[in-house]
């Protein structure tokens, strides 16, 4: 574990789409990369003109055929397929997404039925979706898939040509399952903690913190309406009744519906409290966490008295965003939230 340290250099590699063959490296004048819970992260790299050899490497790169890999002091921290390449006179801009982005271009090709005697843990349903998506063409992802049971047995049915695999994963992530990408690895897990890191205090942050009580995400009573099933949880809260209705057409069993209703109330009553490190701030190099320990889903105990609102709670990491420029060096920003919450409604994702 840690300390976080401060990156001395970043190296960006251009690989084939499987991550097995490197074609070359480029030096970035600026870059950013992220990790996200229940969504696809991205990396953006600005490469100034560095001569004919580098220019040929970038000119030969193709979206989806090539993959971007980001190394922090020679340690791999992010990788995924190139999705946009913009060539300018004095620089080239590269945009890549993590490996879950492939699943946004993989459809449900045949009936997948997890109803009746085929009902399964939500993590198993997610696993089958991912395997289905990559079955006809796997860019070396399935071998690294990691699945942990969610503890929620659910029913789903996906009709042929009914949509994209990633959209269905996002739906599962609203009903008791979490996913994130770490390099080539996709992690599927329940909404419980992925792990627990050492605690953070005010001295572990550089610059101002932002503590947000998000009343727009407050829920004291939840109704979840599935396909033929309805579940309710909660009641009147200390500050009044705040009702929420969730329509989930993919939910076909009462257990999944009840689990989501319970989770909505648990996360929304009282109003959730978020701790965010703004883009212009950062974790201090002395923070007792390593960069590859910062995986969305881990729990970090935080004690902070830096604002008018004191925070002393176990919070989950939902977003990691890292920026690096030649002039300003590295900034590591994190967003932490109570368990069961993916992002504050008042903060841009």
Bond preceding residue 206 cis, omega within 30 of 0: no
Is the pLDDT confidence value at 306 over 80? yes
Express as a percent the part of the chain with pLDDT over 90: 72
- pTM of the full predicted structure? 0.85
Does 324 reside within a domain? no
CATH number of the CATH domain containing 93: 2.30.300.10
Residue 231's beta-bridge partner residues? 224
Yes or no: say if 248 and 122 are a contact pair by the CB < 8 Å rule.
no
Which whole number is the average pLDDT over 91-118? 96
Does 195 reside within a domain? no
Which whole number is the average pLDDT over 99-126? 96
Nearest to 132 by CA among 111, 157, 156: 111
- Centre a 10 Å sphere on the Cβ of residue 151 and count the other Cβ atoms it contains: 13
Is the pLDDT confidence value at 336 over 70? yes
- 112 and 94 within one domain: no
- 168 and 89 within one domain: no
> Whole-angstrom Cα distance, residue 110 to residue 173?
22
pLDDT confidence band for 341 (50 / 70 / 90): low
Express as a percent the part of the chain with pLDDT over 70: 96
Q: Which residue range(s) make up the domain with 67?
A: 10-100
- 96 and 16 within one domain: yes
pLDDT at site 129: 98
pLDDT at site 313: 83
Residue 33 sits at φ, ψ, to 5 deg, of: -150, 160
pLDDT confidence band for 250 (50 / 70 / 90): confident
Is the pLDDT confidence value at 348 over 60? no
> Whole-angstrom Cα distance, residue 21 to residue 38?
29
CATH number of the CATH domain containing 247: 3.30.1920.10
Burial class (CB in 10 A: 0-12, 13-18, 19+), 202: middle
Q: Which tokens belong to 331?
A: 């900034």
Does 315 reside within a domain? no
Which DSSP string corresponds to 81-122?
EEEEEEE-SSEEEEEEE-GGGGGGG-B--S-EEE-GGG-EEH
Final residue before a domain boundary, out of 48, 74, 100: 100
Determine the straight-line distance between the first and last CA of the chain, rounded to whole angstroms: 28
CA angle 223, 226, 231 (to 5 degrees): 35
pLDDT confidence band for 331 (50 / 70 / 90): very high
pLDDT confidence band for 82 (50 / 70 / 90): very high
Nearest to 5 by CA among 214, 143, 204: 204
Instruction: Please provide the average confidence, as pLDDT, over all residues in the chain.
Output: 91
Final residue before a domain boundary, out of 100, 131, 164: 100
Nearest to 144 by CA among 63, 74, 79: 79
pLDDT at site 280: 58
- 87 and 108 within one domain: no
Does 158 reside within a domain? yes
Domain count, the chain: 3
Does 322 reside within a domain? no
Say which residue, 337 or 42, is predicted with more confidence: 42
Nearest to 273 by CA among 304, 235, 233, 296: 304
Yes or no: say if 99 and 141 are a contact pair by the CB < 8 Å rule.
yes
pLDDT at site 206: 87
Asked whether the CA dihedral 248, 253, 256, 258 is positive or negative, the reply is positive
- 128 and 56 within one domain: no
- 113 and 79 within one domain: no
Is the pLDDT confidence value at 349 over 60? no
Does 307 reside within a domain? no
Give the Å distances, CA to CA, from 185 to 98, 130, 142, 174, 205. Answer: 10, 12, 8, 21, 29
Yes or no: say if 251 and 260 are a contact pair by the CB < 8 Å rule.
yes
SS3 82: strand
Final residue before a domain boundary, out of 69, 100, 131: 100
Does 27 reside within a domain? yes
- 107 and 91 within one domain: no
CATH number of the CATH domain containing 121: 3.55.50
Identify the DSSP state of 202: G
Is the pLDDT confidence value at 279 over 70? no
Does 318 reside within a domain? no
- 82 and 35 within one domain: yes
């Amino acid at each position: 574990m840690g300390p976080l340290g401060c990156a001395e250099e970043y190296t960006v590699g251009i690989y084939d789409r499987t991550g097995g063959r490197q074609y070359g490296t480029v030096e970035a004048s600026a870059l950013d990369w992220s990790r996200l819970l229940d969504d696809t992260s991205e990396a953006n790299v600005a490469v100034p003109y560095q001569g004919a050899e580098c220019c040929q490497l970038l000119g030969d790169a193709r979206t989806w055929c090539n993959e971007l890999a980001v190394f922090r002091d020679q340690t791999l921290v992010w990788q995924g397929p190139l999705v946009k390449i913009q060539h300018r006179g004095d620089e080239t801009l590269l945009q890549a997404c993590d490996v879950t982005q492939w699943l946004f271009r993989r459809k449900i090709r045949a009936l997948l039925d997890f109803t009746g005697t085929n009902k399964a843990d939500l993590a198993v349903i997610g696993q089958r979706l991912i395997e289905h998506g990559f079955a006809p063409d796997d860019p070396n992802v399935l071998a690294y898939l990691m699945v942990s049971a969610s503890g929620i047995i659910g029913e789903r049915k996906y009709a042929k040509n009914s949509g994209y695999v990633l959209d269905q994963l996002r739906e599962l992530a609203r009903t008791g399952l979490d996913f994130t990408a770490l390099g080539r690895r996709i992690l599927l897990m329940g909404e419980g903690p992925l792990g627990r890191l050492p605690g953070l205090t005010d001295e572990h942050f550089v610059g101002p913190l932002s503590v947000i009580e998000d009343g727009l995400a407050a829920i004291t009573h939840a109704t979840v309406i599935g396909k033929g099933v309805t579940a309710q949880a909660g009641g009147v809260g200390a500050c009044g009744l705040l009702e929420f209705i969730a329509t989930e057409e993919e939910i076909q069993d009462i257990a999944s519906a009840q689990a989501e209703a319970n989770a909505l109330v648990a996360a929304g009553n009282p109003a959730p409290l978020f701790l965010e490190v703004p883009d212009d701030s950062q974790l201090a190099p002395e923070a007792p966490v390593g960069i590859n320990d910062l995986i969305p889903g881990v729990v970090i105990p935080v004690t902070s008295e830096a604002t008018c609102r004191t925070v002393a709670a176990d919070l989950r990491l939902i977003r990691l965003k890292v920026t690096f420029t030649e002039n300003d060096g590295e900034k590591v920003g994190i967003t932490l939230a109570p368990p069961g919450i993916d992002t504050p409604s008042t903060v841009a994702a």
